[in-house]
Amino acid sequence: MDGTAATVHCARCGRSEAPALPRQPLPGKLGAEVRERVCLDCWNEWQKMEVMVINELRLNFMDPVAQETLTKHMKEFLFPAEAKPGEGSPLTQVK
């Protein structure tokens, strides 16, 4: 190891050489994509937003649709360029 921190070009904030996540934050393909394309700062922002989305939408994780809803909001938040126009949630729009 050469002592340099890993960096990413963040899909959310657009910073190049932004600090990368130290490990994959979610299992599977989506977790790998987040680690490769989202910086640590934007992931931390999402973690705060995630609580607001869960509370605002009153998501009940006993219902399988709740996880799908949260994942949709996460993708809209972390990958705004890929969100379809007019379909984004006001909760997760880039300001």
Please check whether residue 78 lies inside any domain of the structure: yes
Structural domain for 14, as ranges: 7-82
Q: Residue 33 domain-assigned? A: yes
CATH number, domain containing residue 16: 1.10.3880.10
Which element (helix H / strand E) includes 38? Answer: none
What is the model's pLDDT at position 89? 57
Q: In this structure, how many other beta carbons lie within 10 angstroms of the beta carbon of residue 37? A: 17
In a domain, 2, yes or no: no
- Decide if 59 is inside a domain: yes
Residue 29 lies in a domain: yes
Cβ contacts of 68-76, under 8 Å, gap ≥ 24: 71/30, 73/49, 74/46, 74/50
Classify residue 1: in a domain, yes or no: no
CA gap 92, 40 in Å, rounded: 17
Name every residue whose Cβ is closer than 8 Å to that of residue 52 and which is 6 or more positions away in sequence: 91
4 or 34: which leads in pLDDT: 34
Beta partners for residue 18, in sequence order? 8
What confidence tens digit (pLDDT) does each residue in 17-68 have?
999 999 999 999 999 999 999 999 999 999 999 999 999 999 999 999 999 9
In which band, very low, low, confident or very high, does the pLDDT at 1 lie, cut at 50, 70 and 90? very low
Domains identified in the chain, total number: 1
